[in-house]
């Protein structure tokens, strides 16, 4: 089982508190020490729109890279890719939406326009020898359009794989997905994309993230995204509690005897240290239970 740790990027990007670069570096190093094989460190996006990610290059320059860990970054376009290459990232991630409305609100491009952008990114990344991972957002529902047809998710997923992404993370951006949807969406996507190239990215807004993972495990999915402490959320989802917490996921997987190579205790320690910089408690239920014992 592979966990893709997205706390330093997807988790921190919407935090109101200004997090010092040194603290972000320490957070990544703590997560490396926990045994993660993949950590999404930051994003090479416009500092005007995502100020929390303005120090992406400095973070990559400062982290202690652990053998066996891939350090990745989100890129929205060729300019972001160039900055990522200069920062010596191990791979990059691109992101498209299954919802036309969300795509226009989020990146001011239609789905088709975004895919054209990412084809150019994939081609340049291939020249640079960089693997590309892809996200499909709003795969389980959109804050503007509501329900999304699984066929639309499959169309975007297939397009991203065809242009060169090695994996597509089908994402419940606003935390609206439930276990009844998981087989339906996966059936549509895996009719176009091999199952071993599909990952899932759940948010826990409605408390269904772990139930969704459990359902997907039975369907053969072996890669899941999560965020230390449950950091993160979506600005278009009022009341969102953030991403699936890595601690909660590990507690369940450890209990099932599923090997991840990641230390629950060390992830909890990493979450506690970054929590001190945020000004609010983290959403992880496991972390909250351990906090209550202290």
What does each of the 294 residues of the chain score in pLDDT, given as a tens digit? 999 999 999 999 988 899 999 999 999 999 999 999 999 999 999 999 899 999 999 999 999 999 999 999 999 999 999 999 999 999 999 999 999 999 998 888 999 999 999 999 999 999 999 999 999 999 999 999 999 999 999 999 999 999 999 999 999 999 999 999 999 999 999 999 999 999 999 999 999 999 999 999 999 999 999 999 999 876 665 555 689 999 999 999 999 999 999 999 999 999 999 999 998 899 999 999 998 887
Among 224, 268, 222, which Cα is nearest to 31's?
A: 268
Active site residue 142: no
Q: What architecture is the 2-293 domain classified under in CATH?
A: Alpha-Beta Barrel (3.20)
Confirm if 164 and 122 have CB atoms less than 8 A apart.
yes
Domain range list for the chain: 2-293
User: Which of 186, 234, 245, 270 does the annotation list as catalytic?
Assistant: 234
Are residues 143 and 236 in contact, defined by beta-carbon separation less than 8 angstroms? yes
Q: What single-letter DSSP state applies at residue 41?
A: E
Question: Per the structure block, which two tokens stand in for 156?
Answer: 């975007």
């Amino acid at each position: 089982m592979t966990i893709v740790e997205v706390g330093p990027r997807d988790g921190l990007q919407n935090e109101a508190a200004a997090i010092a670069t040194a603290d972000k570096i320490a957070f990544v190093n703590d997560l490396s020490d926990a045994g993660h094989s993949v950590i999404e460190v930051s994003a090479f996006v416009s500092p005007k729109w995502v100020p929390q990610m303005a120090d992406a290059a400095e973070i990559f320059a400062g982290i202690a890279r652990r053998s066996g860990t891939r350090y990745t970054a989100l890129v929205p376009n060729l300019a972001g890719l160039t900055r990522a290459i200069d920062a010596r990232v191990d791979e990059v991630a691109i992101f498209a939406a299954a919802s036309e409305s969300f795509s226009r609100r989020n990146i001011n491009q239609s789905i088709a326009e975004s895919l054209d952008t990412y084809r150019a990114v994939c081609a340049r990344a291939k020249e640079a020898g960089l693997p590309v991972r892809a996200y499909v957002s709003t795969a389980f529902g959109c804050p503007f359009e509501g329900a999304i047809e699984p066929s639309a998710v499959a169309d975007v997923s297939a397009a991203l794989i065809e242009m060169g992404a090695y994996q597509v993370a089908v994402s419940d951006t606003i935390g609206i997905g439930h276990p009844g949807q998981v087989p339906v969406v996966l059936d549509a996507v895996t009719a176009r994309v091999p199952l071993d190239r599909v990952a899932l990215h759940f948010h826990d807004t409605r408390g269904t993230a772990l139930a969704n993972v459990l359902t997907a495990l039975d369907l053969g999915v072996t890669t899941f995204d999560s965020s230390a402490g449950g950091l993160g959320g979506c600005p278009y989802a009022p009341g969102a509690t953030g991403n699936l917490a890595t601690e909660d996921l590990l507690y369940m997987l450890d209990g099932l005897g599923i090997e991840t190579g990641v230390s629950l205790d060390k992830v909890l320690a990493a979450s506690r240290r970054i929590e001190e910089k945020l000004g609010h408690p983290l959403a992880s239920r496991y972390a909250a239970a351990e906090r209550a014992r202290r």
